Structure formats: structure tokens, C-alpha cells
Amino acid sequence: MGWFPNILKGIIYMGVYITTTMVVPFLTFTWVKEIQVLGVAIVLEQFQYDRIIFWITAFGLLISASAFFNYSSPKQSIRKASFALIQILLNCLYIWSYKFSGATEVKFEIVFEVTNVGFIAIDVQNMVMLYMGVYFLTILLKGYDLIDFILNRDKIRQKRYKITEEGVDAS
């Protein structure tokens, strides 16, 4: 694949990651800030709302940038493996930021007209830890890919450029 399709692929995946790591969580937290159900207001009680949005935005930008470099790199290159590993590590930090910004335990206050009727608490901490386990296995896989690409660098280059025994390009 040439340089232009690689750059285009990187831009497309960067847009996908911007949408999934920044836009969707931002709209979700903005939408659930106050919900009306049958005339009863359910209000988000998180005082750390700004901190949650800050960390989502910060890590979302880093993940999107690393996604561009990951997906615009040639297949089986050391650069692609390095950026894939960096991207997975940033994804771990992104998920971890949900835990420590206060987004894993979301509390809603139920308000009917003027009085506070009660609250709803949603705890997704176990789901975050499950994602961390999956990302740990992915880190091992990407680390193996990086080591494999480094050790088999000459074979990959010969296959990519179709170099013959004499050292002349066959294409």
C-alpha cells in the first residue's frame, strides 16, 4: 500500500477513535446529567463531572493521535507495532481514568418538584477491571508482535519488497 492510502486509513481511524473515546462519552455524560422520566427529574450528583470530562478528553486526544500513527504505518513494521503498543497502554490509562475520576460509581438524585425523593447509584467498577484484564492480555500480544517484527525484520523486508537472492528488486 502506498503512502496516500496509509495516511487516509490513519485519518479514518483517528476519526473513529475521536468519536468513540471523546464524542460518545462526552455526549453520554452530558445527556445523563439531567434526565426527565414521567415528570420526575433524575439529576447527576457527580461533583467531579468536570474532572471526568477533562480526563476523557485528554486521553481521548492521545489515543486518537496514536491511532493515526498506528494505522498509517505499513503492515508488519516496527513503527506500527510500537504505536499499537503505545495505543493499548493509553487505552489502559483511559479506562483507569474512568476509575479514578469518579465515573465508575455514578450517583443520580431523584427530585420530584422541590423535594429530594431518593437516589440511584450505578457501580461499574467490576466492568472496568474486566476491561483492564482484557487490555493486559492485549499488551502481551502487542509486545510479542513488536519482538517478532524486530527479530524477523529481514524476512519481512524481503517479503515486502520482493528482493531476490541477487539483491535486485523483482518488481
Per-residue pLDDT tens digits for 113-124:
667 677 777 787
Give the pTM. 0.73
Residue holding cell 455526549? 27
Choose among 114, 106, 117, 124: nearest CA to 45: 106
Give the mean pLDDT of 107-113: 71
Count of C-beta atoms within a 10 Å radius of residue 71: 22
Sign of the torsion formed by the C-alpha atoms of 132, 80, 77 and 79 = negative
3-class DSSP state of 171? coil
For helices 3-18 and 49-71, angle between their N-to-C axes, nearest 10 degrees: 160
**Rounded CA gap, 28 and 164, in Å?**
55
- Tell me what pLDDT residue 66 has: 95
Three cell numbers written together for 71: 494505522
Count of C-beta atoms within a 10 Å radius of residue 28: 11
Alpha helices, DSSP H only, in the chain? 3-18, 24-31, 49-71, 78-101, 125-151, 153-161
**Rounded CA gap, 8 and 25, in Å?**
25
Reported as a single tens digit per residue, the pLDDT across 28-41 is 878 777 777 777 77
Give the mean pLDDT of 85-105: 84
* Residues forming beta bridges with residue 34, ordered by sequence position: 43
> Do β-strands 115-123 and 105-112 pair in parallel, antiparallel, or remain unpaired?
antiparallel
**Rounded CA gap, 148 and 166, in Å?**
26
- Tell me what pLDDT residue 69 has: 95
* Residues forming beta bridges with residue 37, ordered by sequence position: 40
Q: Are 84 and 68 in contact (CB under 8 A)?
A: no
- Average pLDDT over the chain reads 83
